[in-house]
Structure 1
Amino acid sequence: MNSNMKSLVKFSGYISLIVYFCLVILKKPIDLIEYIELLSESVGLVIFIVLTYEKWLWRFNPLIKTPKFKKEYSGLLKYNYGGTLGEKEVEISIKQTLLSTRIKIKTDEIISKSITSEMLEEDGEYVLYYSYKTNPLSEYSDKNPIQFGTCRLLIDDVEQFQGQYWTSSKTIGDLYFKAKI
């Protein structure tokens, strides 16, 4: 279980206790049935609170050290395909919650979307690994067909970061990203 999941479970436990005891104080149950009814009421409130926290509010928690990405970046992709070197300008969109990160990259030829992703801490630095599938525009599908790849991004600064990628078609390369203003 990664540290973000652990912190969410711990947060859920604390919130559950707080909500339940607040309901007990406010509603002053008399018998066991009323206490049990308060449990079900508190579960609904806790689910709402935890989902809201996981999606948005975690970004404001200073105890969560996971890098908090901006939404849009522009960048440069340097590639090596069979000895042919090249560069492409790219746009990257990152959608992030406490437990997930989705990445979408656009070039003039393809759109790639992450299939899985994982933020890890390696030697005190955060690294985002993700696997993706490319979807070429139809006019480029012959020379640049659908492929799968993996990317490793070193996140030492969420304003600008870089990494490497490799694909099922034996393309390798480097990526450089900078947050849009």
Structure 2
Amino acid sequence: MTKRLGEKTIGYFENLGALQKQQYAVLAVLFDFDGTLTHPGSLNLSEIRNIIGCPAGKPILEYISSLPETESASAMATLDAFELEAAGRAVPNDGAEELISYLKAENIGMGIISRNTQAAIERAMRNFRQTRMSDFQVIISRDAEILPKPHPHGILLAAERMNVLPEQVMMVGDYIFDIQAGKQAKTL
């Protein structure tokens, strides 16, 4: 039996051309972490950019990956340290834990796809009251050997691990990379 997620608000989307309603089965929800499930703990990206020499407007992870190996390792260690410290100050976004509880009760699979490290995710999760890492079937961080968002690889890997099709997954995020990755993976 297919579970339906919030039929009135999520389960039906209007086809604007034909004005016909279509129903979509949501079997899994993948969340971005910072800014989606959490209020990030004041990560000073300008300071990080300045320290590692990343030009304004260039994504930090992509900049770091373009550096020679020794510089890349040093820049990544700097980013990791800043993120871990900020993760200690992160708090759940309003309604995040209630949504996770609802999805869990409805047996909707859940996962996290993040450009953060696993350690930063685990540290921030300690600030959740009801939600545990074990509530998520899959957590894919930048520690995984995958291309980061906006590449769809993480979403496709998560869908495979959750034994669902990408078309049965809803990707929820707060940044353009989340939207781009979701579209490329053909998620809802």
TM-score category of the 2 structures, normalised to the smaller one: under 0.3
The higher radius of gyration belongs to 1
Q: TM-score, normalised by structure 1?
A: 0.23
Higher helix proportion: 2
Q: Which has the higher contact order (CA 8 A, sep 6+)?
A: 2
The structure that is strand-richer by fraction is 1
TM-score, normalised relative to structure 2: 0.22
